[in-house]
Every structure is written in C-alpha cells, then in structure tokens.
Structure 1
C-alpha cells in the first residue's frame, strides 16, 4: 500500500475510531477496521482481516482494560474468564484464519456481512 498523506490520514481516523469504539463499547477490530480497510483503502477482505488482526497483536487495549479493572466499582473484569477465553481465542483465531484463507474473496465478504447483519439485528431488537 502506498503511504500517501491521504492514506496516512485515513489510517489515523480508522485507528482512532476503532480505539474509541473499543474502549466505549468493546468493539473495534473486525466490526470497525475490516469494513473501513475495504471501503476506504481498497484492501481485499483477506488483507483487511489480516491487517485487523495484526493491529490487535500488540497490547492495544491495555489502557482500556486497565480503566475497567481499576474502576470505582471494584473492577469489571473476571480474570479467570478473560484468561480462559483468551487462550481459546488464540486457538480459534488460528483455526479460523486457516479456514478463511481457504474461502474465496466473494464468499468471505458475504459471510462477514451476514454475521454483522445478524449481530446488528439482535442488538437493535432485543432489550
């Protein structure tokens, strides 16, 4: 990807938006970055998904997690659950990426869009 001023500004906006939404409502990676990488940077679905995962590789959410852990309510994180899910997330991420790389671009976009649509409908229509 050519790093023009326009591209750098787009990356800054995507990074800030994903970070703010991650800290605010717990989303950012796939739900925000992947569509924006595809729409505004012209990446393929495979490239966008890989880049989204690469962005999350360093401890990008450390400060957000710290805020939740040290909040005045006595902490909002059950660390046993977090570590269990984290371990399985690593295994699932490995298996899921292997599967995604075997699926053609068009089908992968449809799967991604369908998943986002189902989540959106559930969030909108449940109490």
Structure 2
C-alpha cells in the first residue's frame, strides 16, 4: 500500500513467511498517513491465525509523529484481541526509538533487527 499526498509519503510492504508477518513501513507516519497505516496493519493481521507474530519494522521510517505511537497502540490492541504477538523493530539510535521509549506502548517488545524479532519467543 502506498499513500502519496502533497505533504506526506507512506508505504507499507507486507511479507508473510512461516509464523510471522513482517510489515515494513517507509516514509512518514503522521496525521495524513495514519489511516492508511492502520488499514494496512489490520489487513495483514486479519490474515494470520493465532499464535503467530506480527513484526512492525519501522527502521526505514523517515518521520514518526505522535500518530505513530497511537498507531502502535491500536495495532497492539488488535493483536492482543486476536491472540497474536506484536513486535516492533527500530534502529536504536533513531528518533523513532526515542519516541517509543518516551511514549510508546510498554507491553510491546522492541528489537534492533527483524531477524531478532522473528526468532524471539
């Protein structure tokens, strides 16, 4: 899914393999792109049977606003209702990682790589 408006560019690429769905986000997660991001995640999550894993890879994201934190909370709630485990991947030195440490969901594990997130129990 790609959203391109005059202010924001956003794309999510789903990759499903084994017991994990990896959703790689690129571009900007803000007010203009939040709805598209939520829809992309919910489409991917609805296709998975429990107790599978949903990995949200935010490493390519160029801008992560407070709407991104709201997005992750909504995704965490959706995954919990469906019996899915959510994991987030961010570059530990990025502004996205700082935002998640300050205001992100505390019940969602954060990893440095997709590989680590998909291997973890």
Per the TM superposition, whether the score is higher than 0.5 is no
| Larger Rg computed on CA atoms | 1
TM-score, with length taken from structure 1? 0.32
* Larger helix share, 1 or 2: 1
Higher relative contact order, chain-length normalized (CA < 8 Å, sep 6+)? 2
TM-score, with length taken from structure 2? 0.33
* Larger strand share, 1 or 2: 2
